[in-house]
Amino acid sequence: MRSRLEALRSVPFLRTLDEPTLKAVDARCAEKVYLKNEILFLEGDPPKGLLVIREGSVKIYKVGGTGREQILEIEGPGRSVAELPLFDGQPYPASCAAIEDTILLTMPVREFHALLERHPALSRAVIASLSQRLRRMVFLVRELSLEDVRTRLANLLLELAGSSDQVELPWTHQELAARIGTVREIVSRTLARMAQEGAVRIEGRRIHLLDRARLSS
């Protein structure tokens, strides 16, 4: 398990802090364990403060009127969660739950604001981080609006693989479906079709990318 300082240092906007300040942040953080599927917060809840994942992973999601879930983001170790309410004081615009047993570091809102006042450069770093999240949300909206399911699934597999030729899926087919805005049965059928066409080879949760050009064709 990574140390608390390593987790905090991995957060993009906290990297600007010197070691003594980072240790002061660590001293003000409480640690809480969330079990798999446990709710961290629900849409409409007031902000809890700065939330940093030490170990595990969480999903940020919204639930429609029919109960269908759309995953907006999945965050892992060394990532912060839902910073926006820290600045506007408004309730969380989406919900968050652990997708595996997760250890979270939390700093109260008041402590975080005091940190920003002492370190103005940190505010600029947080704005840059929020800008990156906004870009990801714009990309997600474009995908859901303009791309078909196969293309969305192919893009996600390529994103997870990076430069590798294989993906170790961190989620179930249900969670994959919620991430790309469809249902589990369509994800399973689409993966099976990709395998039949020779684009991928599936071994449990491991997917080998055999032909990237065929993935979204």
Count CB neighbours of 151 within 10 A.
15
Chain mean position to CA 135: 14
Residue 28 corresponds to which tokens in the numbers above? 């003000």
Chain mean position to CA 125: 19
Tens digits of per-residue pLDDT, 21-50? 888 889 989 999 999 999 999 999 999 999
Q: Which amino acid type is present at position 210?
A: L
Count CB neighbours of 168 within 10 A.
11
Residue 78 corresponds to which tokens in the numbers above? 């060394």
Name every residue whose Cβ is closer than 8 Å to that of residue 39 and which is 6 or more positions away in sequence.
95, 96, 97
Place of tokens 């049965």: 185
Instruction: Tell whether the model's pLDDT for residue 76 goes beyond 70.
Output: yes
Tens digits of per-residue pLDDT, 138-157? 777 776 666 888 888 888 88
48: three-class secondary structure by DSSP: coil
Instruction: Tell whether the model's pLDDT for residue 69 goes beyond 90.
Output: no
Give the Cα separation of 6 and 25 in Å (integer).
Answer: 12
Q: Is this prediction's pTM over 0.85?
A: no
Backbone angles phi, psi at 163, to 5 degrees: -90, -5
Tens digits of per-residue pLDDT, 155-187? 888 888 888 888 888 778 888 887 888 888 888
108: three-class secondary structure by DSSP: coil
How many CA atoms does the CB half-sphere of 54 hold within 13 Å? 16
Nearest CA among 118, 91, 96, 87 for reference residue 52: 96
Give the Cα separation of 123 and 34 in Å (integer).
Answer: 29
Whole-number average pLDDT of the chain: 86
Give the Cα separation of 24 and 112 in Å (integer).
Answer: 11
